[in-house]
Amino acid sequence: MSDIPKIHSIKKTDKETLLNWYRILFLGRTLDEKAPNYLKQAIGWSYHAPAAGHDGIQLAIGQVFDRNKDHLFPYYRDLVTNVSAGLTAEEIIYNGISKDADVAGGGRHMSNHFAKPEWNIHNVSSCTGNHTLHAVGVARAIKTYEAKGVAFSSQGESSVSEGYVYEAINGASKEHLPVVFVFQDNGYGISVPKKDQTANRKVAKNFEGFKNLRVMYCNGKDVFDSMNTMMEASKWAEENQKPVIVQANCVRIHSHSNSDRHDLYRDDNELGYVKEYDPLAKYQRLLIRYNRATEEELKAIEEDVAAEVKVAHRKGMAAPHPTPESIHDFVLPEPYVSTKYPDGTHQSDGEPQKLIQGLNETLKAEFRHNPDTYIWGQDIANKDKGGIFNVSKGMQQEFGKKRVFNAPIAEDFIMGTANGMVRYNKDIRVVVEGAEFADYFWPAMEQFVETTHEYWRTKGQFSPNITVRLASGGYIGGGLYHSQNIEGALSTFPGVRIVYPSYADDAAGLLRTCMRSEGMTVFMEPKALYNAPKAATPIPDDFEVPFGKARTRREGKDLTIFTYGNTTHMSVEVAEQLSKEGFGEIEVIDLRSLIPLDIEAVIASVKKTSKAMVVHEDKVFGGFGGEVAAQITSEAFEYLDAPVKRVGSTFTPVGFNRTLEAAVLPNNERIMEAAKELLAY
């Protein structure tokens, strides 16, 4: 500890500062102790994780944090941290009882999740420690833009057991990023003792072998040790552009939360010990013992705080709740709107380009259009290679390593740092290759789910402006983890758009719209069509395809096939063949956009043909086509002359062997057989 300057001490720190700290600590403790009363009276604060025992380190985090240049990611126990950073009693209570005036997000998150996005105090998840990745992402932006400041990730020591915390610290050390990870160590993860979490008594020791990382330890119960350590950590991280871990030894005076009973797993000796080491009581004793404050001065502060909290309580009780209908607000931000191509079609007759070329050239054009655009993922920037399929080929050479770079093989890290980096600047657009194949995306699902509700949870204060590219689908003999479709699963999450083009022009136009829009979009790329001549089309240089606009691929009057991706081409081929054979005229609607779905186009076509069939390569059971069929039945039942028919994969994984793959995936023969049955109905 000798390398940490002793800037603050009971003797050296000026009296005004000492009294201000006492006021912050007492205000934090008063609110902390008042919180359970709201629950008992059924007023609110249904979740409360007491901060008592963490007071020293939390005071220090909030005091060192500079809202003008730093970014703070507090966790659910950080009440005193937020008070120390400047949140008022009123703002704390609004959050605790979930009022519309809550600055964290208008009561849309669990109580005790304090934030103030306009001050760079970020609204974080209940998923313990997942904000470490967001802190790393915003630190990457700080470094990229050569700005001042650091990112603070505050968390409990047990959160360090999560894999994404290791990914975050590994990435921060690899990229030399100014992040301060604060582990508030109270010895327990709910009721699980630390010895059941890790072999090391101090979890920070697990990271001491990481290069470019400084690890510091402090007494989180002591105001001065905490303050000196946090000041040094912040200064060192900013000056050296490297990460720091601060492990602060704390005590948890109360239960983990209001739903926990610590007397069931802590004996009387331990319960007495933690109360004896109360940081607030210790600080009060020091002030009096060293004549830095009188009992009267402290009493006056306490009375002032009590009056402040009483006023804040009255305001909180009088403040309005969110209205029921407001739950539908801020699910997704408004997208970029095309004025030149409002329906997402064009009349260009230029030279046809392959789908992969359309993607590559659109990525490059958008990188030239917006210098605040970045792309990273696995294997995307290696000399002349650009991803496993070369979609990003040539981009690093043109735009440099700051904007185009490889990520570790850690899908959660790829998604989580994207969430973090776009927090720094609303102009930033991030494209990530979320996984080398769509079915490798599952390790990123924790961060994907997190990102889908960021805009809603913050009441529109933060929009994750991210395009997630995923090479999807079969017909390549890829087998497990290389040929599965996942759009049906992803479509169940509000707060994300999903598009799935079938032709080169739509791929280019949808990608441009994704990259210019606010919010997150999953861009599914049918990899079997990357170089397929049948998917090649002319592409206007500025082509744009709006979200939620289907495209008619073939006019018809006897049956409509609704489709997307690889099966669009099969459906068109089947329709042409059946027309030649005199079975009828089939209309083929290429959905292109799954979320939002062009339900108006769906209904209009069903009204026209009176028969509907949904075709896609995903499984029929649980696939996205089930939702399309349900929408048709719900919204256009009166126009139907027959049941809605579906064609897709059988309920089994897609096989690697070509014979097995062919037995699973839809093909022209199966689509034709189903169409004939429906036409004859």
Q: What are phi and psi of 514, to 5 degrees?
A: -55, -50
HEC assignment per residue over 428-478: CEEEEEEECCHHHCHHHHHHHHHHHCHHHHCCCCCCCCEEEEEEECCCCCC
Q: Which of 313, 346, 482, 616 is catalytic?
A: 482
Task: Output the CA torsion sign for 417, 423, 428, 434.
Answer: positive
Asked whether 452 and 200 are in contact (CB, 8 A), the reply is no
Check if 346 is active-site: no
The DSSP H or E segment spanning 248 is strand 244-249
Asked whether 231 and 242 are in contact (CB, 8 A), the reply is no
State the residue for tokens 């769509």: 438
Say what angle helices 279-289 and 295-318 make with each other, to 10 degrees: 140
Q: Is 213 left (phi over 0), alpha (psi -120 to 50) or beta?
A: beta
C-alpha to C-alpha distance for 458 and 330, rounded to whole angstroms: 9
Largest distance between two CA atoms of the chain: 101
Nearest to 277 by CA among 302, 249, 301: 249
HSE of 373 in the Cβ direction (CA atoms, 13 Å)? 21
Q: What are phi and psi of 463, to 5 degrees?
A: -115, 120
What tokens appear for 375 in the block? 């792309």
C-alpha to C-alpha distance for 143 and 128, rounded to whole angstroms: 26
Catalytic residues: 482
